[in-house]
Amino acid sequence: MSTAASKTTDYDLIVIGGGAVGENVADYATQQGLQVAIVESELVGGECSYWACMPSKALLRSGNALRAARRLPGTREAVTGELDVRAVLERRTTFTSGWKDDGQAKWVESAGIELIRGHATVTGAGQVKVDGRMYTARAVALATGSVPHIPEIDGLAEAQPWGTREATSAKTVPQRLIVLGGGVAGTEMAFAFSSLGAHVTVLSRSALLSHEEPFVGECLADALTAEGVDVRIGATPSHIDRDAEGLVTATLEDGSTIQADEILVATGRTPATDGLGLDSLGLGGNEGLAVDDTMLVKGTDWLYAVGDVNGRALLTHQGKYQARAAGEAIAARLNGTQVQDQPWGRHVATADHTAVPHVVFSDPEVASVGKTEAKAREAGLHIKTVEYDLGSIAGSSLQADDYAGRAKLVVDEDRGVIVGATFIGQDVAELLHSATIAIVGEVPIDRLWHAVPSYPTISEVWLRLLETYTSQG
């Protein structure tokens, strides 16, 4: 154990940032006997707990549940009203603990981690300054997350747009909302606010969710349009203006205008490295810190970057996976025990390269993992793809009348294994882990044939996909 080191430094490890990722780095390192401190400048729990995953999913769930009920004759008749907006917003607020972090701060303490409140900067190897006070450690882990990217559009900054923080913590629902960006956050928030009664216009310069299989964006655009959302693909504003009454006007490149009460900017995020003092250490830049698979920043032997800040996968679950690897890798290095850094070893985040699962909680849901067909081809893989209509599965038709959805597998023909899977449809999120296991486990297609899906579940799509794959020869 590492107590010897603690005699020369204040801590074995200082984690900067107490979001979900920082908490996990600290926890896993502490469990290996390290003395650890977390520095947090805002709320312990970070973006996910207060302004991202939790409140956004709470805002989405009620609309999705209402639509699900309306898809079933018999149930439809029992659900005759609209959403109670106040109740939905209140339920959202309970998931953020009213934007108070007492519960999570208490957990940090109970886990044997020291919490230092304040803004941290890194002043040298193992040196961290927090609001004027210097602390030392044998290793430092950055888990500072990411910040919104605001595009340089004339008048946008002056119009004081909403970011995702303002959207997820909204106290009221604007009558008209413009959503700029057709990525994950923009799509989810368009569904959420439309369900809550806003008239939403989405401005997306490319197809919605353009990193997914192409049918995903098409299905989502259709679903949003059916909900009354005005989806403008290929539309970029050239100018934004907010007048004295608060009215927002977006002027598009073709000269047309759209008016709204609020504009939400959801155009991506960049690593939160500004103001950390990295430039003076010859590190930094806004492209993200290059790390190895133990999350050690390249060119250093003491600095780690974990979660959103390293730009590998801006997702809570993947950041926490990196954190489990990094927390134990740091402990192994400091304790002088073996670092298991071979691919798929305990101390590396190998899955970041091959199997990052993600779910978009739109309606229909989008759940995908691994490579799309385009990415697999780009990687030079010799692939075959197979698609199946989810609506024709017995389990799906029981789930909802007129169930619409699609599934696609990307198979590496040389290895006979799945390298990518995409599902779109109601309630497909829980289907995703089966695909993640198949990819991570490199389960041969021939063996997958023996994984029999229960009847009548939506998972039966696996059987149909494999039958179709085999019949294609």
Give the footprint of ligand FAD on this chain (CB under 6 A).
16-22, 39-42, 46-48, 52-53, 56-57, 119-120, 143-145, 164, 168, 185, 272, 276, 307-308, 314-317, 319
Angstrom distance (rounded) from CA 303 to CA 138: 9
Name the residue among 439, 437, 312, 326 with its Cα closest to residue 372: 439
DSSP sequence for 2-19: -HHHHTTSSEEEEEE--B
> Where in 66-95 is the site for ligand NAD (CB under 6 A)?
none
Q: How far is the CB of 115 from ligand NAD (least distance, A)?
A: 26
The answer to whether 162 contacts ligand NAD (rule: CB under 6 A) is no
The answer to whether 181 contacts ligand NAD (rule: CB under 6 A) is yes
Q: Which stretch binds ligand NAD (CB under 6 A): 174-182, 256-264, 332-340, 341-349?
A: 174-182
Q: Is residue 255 annotated as involved in ligand binding?
A: no
The answer to whether 221 contacts ligand NAD (rule: CB under 6 A) is no
Query: Applying CB under 6 A, which of residues 314, 331, 334, 376 lies at the interface with ligand NAD?
Result: 314
Query: Applying CB under 6 A, which of residues 26, 108, 184, 200 lies at the interface with ligand NAD?
Result: 184
Closer CB to ligand NAD, residue 14 or residue 231? Answer: 231
Angstrom distance (rounded) from CA 328 to CA 346: 8
Q: How far is the CB of 37 from ligand FAD (least distance, A)?
A: 11
The 222-261 site mask, x for binding ligand NAD (CB under 6 A), equals --------------x-------------------------
Buried b (16+ CB within 10 A) or exposed e, 392-416: ebebbeebbeebbbbbbbbbbeeee
Distinct helix (H) and strand (E) counts, the chain: 16, 21
Neighbouring residues of 86: CB distance < 8 A, sequence distance ≥ 6:
none
Residue type, 1: M
Q: What angle do CA 85, 427, 192 make, to 5 degrees?
A: 25
**Residue 222 and residue 229 in contact, taking contact as beta carbons nearer than 8 Å:** no
Q: Is residue 81 annotated as involved in ligand binding?
A: no
Q: Is residue 145 annotated as involved in ligand binding?
A: yes
Q: How far is the CB of 318 from ligand NAD (least distance, A)?
A: 9
Q: Is residue 336 annotated as involved in ligand binding?
A: no
Q: 78 φ, ψ to 5°?
A: -85, -10
| Structure-block tokens of residue 59 | 């805002």
Q: Is residue 182 annotated as involved in ligand binding?
A: yes
Q: How far is the CB of 14 from ligand FAD (least distance, A)?
A: 10
Which entry of ligand FAD, ligand NAD, none binds 47, CB below 5 to 8 A by partner kind? ligand FAD
Q: How far is the CB of 319 from ligand NAD (least distance, A)?
A: 10
The answer to whether 264 contacts ligand NAD (rule: CB under 6 A) is no
**Residue 225 and residue 233 in contact, taking contact as beta carbons nearer than 8 Å:** no
DSSP sequence for 420-466: EEEEEETT-GGGHHHHHHHHHTT-BHHHHTTSPPPTTSGGGHHHHHH
Angstrom distance (rounded) from CA 102 to CA 18: 13
Q: How far is the CB of 267 from ligand FAD (least distance, A)?
A: 11
**Cis before 357 (ω within 30):** no
Which entry of ligand FAD, ligand NAD, none binds 182, CB below 5 to 8 A by partner kind? ligand NAD
Closer CB to ligand FAD, residue 15 or residue 334? Answer: 15
Query: Applying CB under 6 A, which of residues 240, 266, 330, 390 lies at the interface with ligand NAD?
Result: 266
Is residue 248 left, alpha or beta, with left meaning phi > 0 and alpha meaning psi from -120 to 50?
Answer: beta
Q: Is residue 311 annotated as involved in ligand binding?
A: no
The answer to whether 311 contacts ligand NAD (rule: CB under 6 A) is no
The answer to whether 163 contacts ligand NAD (rule: CB under 6 A) is no
Residue type, 66: L
Closer CB to ligand FAD, residue 50 or residue 469? Answer: 50
Closer CB to ligand NAD, residue 172 or residue 206? Answer: 206
Q: Angle of helix 53-70 relative to helix 184-195, nearest 10 degrees?
A: 50
**Residue 373 and residue 383 in contact, taking contact as beta carbons nearer than 8 Å:** yes
The answer to whether 320 contacts ligand NAD (rule: CB under 6 A) is no
Which entry of ligand NAD, ligand FAD, none binds 236, CB below 5 to 8 A by partner kind? ligand NAD
Which entry of ligand NAD, ligand FAD, none binds 307, CB below 5 to 8 A by partner kind? ligand FAD
Q: Is residue 132 annotated as involved in ligand binding?
A: no
| Structure-block tokens of residue 85 | 């907006």
> Where in 334-393 is the site for ligand NAD (CB under 6 A)?
358-361
Q: Is residue 184 annotated as involved in ligand binding?
A: yes
Q: What angle do CA 140, 144, 149 make, to 5 degrees?
A: 145
Neighbouring residues of 196: CB distance < 8 A, sequence distance ≥ 6:
59, 63, 83, 85, 88, 173
Which positions touch ligand NAD (CB under 6 A)?
A: 151, 180-186, 188, 204-206, 210, 236, 266-269, 314-315, 358-361
Annotated binding-site ranges for NAD(+): 181-188, 268
Annotated binding-site ranges: 57, 144-146, 181-188, 268, 308
